[in-house]
Homo-oligomer: A and B are copies of this chain.
Amino acid sequence: MAAPDVTVFVCVSCRRRADNAVGFDEPGRVLAERLADRLADDAPGAAVVPVECLAVCNRPCTVALVGDGKWTYLVGDLDNEAHLDDIAAAARAYGATENGIIAWKERPLPFRKGVVARVPPLAFRPQTPTPALSGSDALTQD
């Protein structure tokens, strides 16, 4: 099987205020480690790359799924423990797509609810409407 084409950028800068306590932790650092371990077993071609700040900040943990020629998806509100299976599943599914768009029914729930933004691949251009064919024009189409 071909290696999955996915890089998961994990923001390791987000701070999360601790419940019932003073201070905060940085849950993205733990997520990056756990996800790298998980995908090393499940999807050895995937890359997990920690990044100092994806500039989302208020929705930790945040990840970006990126691949060559694919739509980029930024997803936040991810828990580094409860959502670990979902994040790994989404990374595998994304890696298997051609364009980066995971079919809705295959998206783990946190990847339906937590989308922060998406960006087309650099070469993306909208399809121009195809003119209606009529008469002899239609016959000369490939």
Contact = CB atoms under 8 A, between A and B. Distances in A.
Interface stretch (A20-28, A112-120, A134-142): A112-120
A104 interface: no
B117 A51 contact: no
Contacts of A115: 55
B54 A118 contact: yes
A68 B123 CA distance: 10
Interface residues of A, number: 27
Interface string A65-102: 01110001010000000000000000000000000000
Work out how many copies of this chain go into the complex.
2
B118 A55 contact: yes
A119 B62 CA distance: 11
A51 to B, nearest CB: 6
A20 B51 CA distance: 43
Interface of A: 7, 9, 49-56, 62, 64, 66-68, 72, 74, 115-120, 122, 124-126
Nearest 3 pairs of A and B residues by beta carbon: A55-B118, A64-B119, A74-B117
13 contacts: A9-B124, A49-B124, A50-B126, A51-B124, A51-B126, A52-B126, A53-B118, A54-B119, A55-B116, A55-B117, A56-B116, A72-B72, A116-B116
